[in-house]
Structure 1
């Protein structure tokens, strides 16, 4: 009876009347006290309204049905596949849409629809992975800002790889505490690449100097990153650095010079294949012979063994409370170890490259310390 009267009336009804009727009919269907036969007729009438030429009518249905688990599944599916102003509330709210439904919709839609899906109160890890893989930049930004999204480390990496050149995405990712350390490093590298290609930077410095300064800035940022990386994430960061070709001898020299002994231990574990307990024990209190054997098994060049060992001994004394020292004192002692300190004859041929690197680190530390001292005086 409802359908018969509805069919006779709807053909001549104005849009506003059809909108009101669609909303009332949807609410009536969700009324649990409605008799079964009337519910079936209401469902039939709602199905008919899916073909209404006005999106306002379909949007009215979607608004009412979007939060209910008892809405007709076929109607919800049709509304979810409608245009954005109709599908929006369904895609954001409906509990009837499965991850499979949402992933399929995201894969076949543009950034606006993908963003609606990414803004759901809860986004599962699998749905977040799909958005990270196929979503447009707009959708990935929405996903990162959604506290209800369960984003896996791999999904962070894919977004960093795909859109790491975008400043908005870098900012959104870098402030996210869930961001894995290797992704954080990748974004720092992307930021350096963006800076050195900036027309302003190129005009002020020239290509060669811009390349050198941004490279140095990325290395120093990597050292800061290590400080804030939990030990359990060291392996992932090390593998990332290794695959990028950034796990170089010069990087490890900087690491030990700045006292990142725990991270160096993780690197030696990864490169030597020896157990965590054994490597940590050797670094903490092992004899020189054992330490050098560990360096050699990790593939560290023989020319660097002496400076690494000298730095390690100083940091041991600092850790044990027998000495107060920082990177400035350590790099000075490393230079003395290879005859490159003030008043010494100079390094041997094989040590010249290491001496140049350690001296540059020493000068950087001197500048940083002096800058910090000046700022402290100004703030007093």
Structure 2
């Protein structure tokens, strides 16, 4: 009888009154001790309100049933398929919606509805994959910043493919606590491409200069990624990254040489394994005698440039002599570069001019980095108090996985 009276009253009430009444009926359904017949009648009345022309009424239902575990499933499903301002409460919170329903709602929803799904407390991998494939930019960013999203590597890479030129999208992914090495590499490439396009369109750099600078900055970032991957995931992680670099045509001789001259041997070994097809132990054995014919045969089998062989041998010799000159920091070593330059100059009859030009660029970069580091150290010493407090010895590492800001600043500095 109460429900019949409610429906009769709803015929003449205005939208605001109907919305208030819909909320009251929803709360009565959820929290009152209704008889079975009354509960069924209330459910019918609630379902009939789905046809109400005012979104205020349907939004009142959505707000009240959004988190309910004992709401009518059909009612929640209907609300989830309504216009976005009605659907977002249930899309963002309802425990009744299945993974298949969420994927379906993502497919037909606008950016607001998709973002509501992306920001759920827990987003299954299948829903993440669907949003990565068809979601709007706003939904992809929401998904990236949500720690409850089971965002798999292939989904993140698809998001970069679709929205990599968007800085906010890249920042959102970088904010995640753990990123696979391949995703970090894709982010570097997307950043470099976006910045290169910007400086070229602005007329600050020629296409050729922007491309070379972009390539060198990508290589620099990739050496950092390899170093961190080796620490976190060991040789297996480095091998997976090298496979990705090869597939994306980034596994170049200049990248491998840069890694060696930065004190990182892991990339060189993994590259030789990947390019030659030999076992890791076989490659490691041939590398131990890098002056011998066996190493030369391995090098040629890997398809690396023949003219670069003297530089690689000199780099391996310098690495054996100097070891880790930067204490684990992945940047070029000036002393190692100078050693390689000397060795190559002694045998250069003109055929190594291209290699020498590359080494000179490495030398310039390393010298500049050392000058900056020394200037920063001297400035810090000059500004430091004469008596250091105990707290001054505490070092807090807050550096990001990849310093994208420094990456951008260097590119812009060259363009200035």
Using structure 1 for the length normalisation, give the TM-score: 0.89
Question: Are 1:327 and 2:345 an aligned pair?
Answer: no
How far apart are 1:320 and its partner, in Å? 9.6
| From 255, 260, 264, the counterpart of 1:256 | 260
| Alpha-carbon distance in structure 2 between the residues aligned to 1:372 and 1:60 | 61
Alpha-carbon spacing, 1:153–1:60, altered in 2? closer, same or farther (3 Å)? same
Alignment counterpart, residue 246 of structure 1, candidates 242, 250, 253: 250
For 1:320 and 1:373, locate their aligned partners in 2 and report how far apart those are by CA, in whole Å: 18
CA distance in 1, matches of 2:15, 2:240: 58
2:271 counterpart of 1:267: yes
Query: What CA distance in whole angstroms lies between the structure 2 residues aligned with 1:46 and 1:283?
Result: 75
CA RMSD in angstroms comes to: 2.4
Shift of 1:128: 0.6
Count of matched residue pairs:
371
Paired residue for 2:414? none
Report if the CA contact (8 A) 1:284-1:316 is conserved.
Answer: no
Helix, strand or coil at the partner of 1:228: helix
Look up the SS of the partner of 2:46 in the other structure: helix
How far apart are residue 147 of structure 1 and its match?
1.1
The separation in 2 between residues aligned to 1:74 and 1:144, in whole angstroms, is 30
User: Following the alignment from structure 1 to structure 2, what is the Cα–Cα distance between the partners of residues 320 and 279?
Assistant: 22
For 1:185 and 1:223, how far apart are their aligned partners in 2?
10
Aligned counterpart for 1:298 among listed residues 295, 298, 302: 302
Q: Greater shift after overlay, 353-362 or 119-128?
A: 353-362
The 1-side partners of 2:98 and 2:336 are apart by 58
Closer/same/farther in 2, CA of residues 208 and 132 from structure 1, 3 Å limit: same
Q: CA deviation at 1:205?
A: 4.1
Which residue pairs with 2:18 in the alignment? 18
Deviation at residue 80 of structure 1 after TM alignment: 0.7
1:371 is aligned to 372
After superposition, the Cα gap between the structure-2 partners of 1:32 and 1:6, relative to the gap in structure 1 and judged at 3 Å, is closer
| Correspondence for 2:387 | none
Q: Give the counterpart of 1:235 among 229, 234, 239.
A: 239
1:356 aligns with 2:357: yes
1:142 CA displacement: 0.5
Deviations 1:160-214 (A, max 9, x none): 1110011111122233333222222222222222222325884444544434333
Stretches of structure 1 lacking an aligned partner (at least 5 in a row): none
Deviation at 1:93, TM superposition (A): 0.7
Q: Measure, in 1, the Cα distance between the counterparts of 2:324 and 2:9.
A: 89
Native 8 Å contact 1:196 1:202 kept in 2: no
Q: Distance in 2 between matches of 1:7 and 1:359?
A: 84
Distance 1:74 1:208 in 2: 60
CA distance 1:315–1:214, shift in 2 (3 Å): same
* Cα distance between partner residues in 1 of 2:137 and 2:130: 13
Within-5 A mapping of 1:144-293: 144-198=144-198, 202-230=202-230, 231=234, 232-283=236-287, 288-293=292-297
Distance 1:15 1:183 in 2: 50
* TM-aligned CA distance change 1:207 to 1:183, over 3 Å: same
Asked if 1 retains the 8 angstrom alpha-carbon contact of 2:106 and 2:131, the reply is yes
- Contact conserved, 2:238 with 2:267, CA < 8 A, in 1? yes
- Using a 3 Å threshold, how does the CA distance of structure 1 residues 165 and 61 change in structure 2: closer, same or farther? same
Partner of 1:98: 98
Shift, 1:114, TM fit: 0.6
For residues 338-364 of structure 1, the C-alpha deviation after alignment (integer angstroms, 9 at most, x for no partner) is 3x1xxx5x6034333222222321232
- Bigger drift between 310-319 and 183-192 goes to 310-319
Q: Which moved more, 1:55-64 or 1:3-12?
A: 3-12
Farther-moved stretch of structure 1 (259-268 vs 211-220): 211-220
- In the alignment, the residues of structure 1 paired with residue 162 and residue 298 of structure 2 have an alpha-carbon distance, to the nearest angstrom, of 38
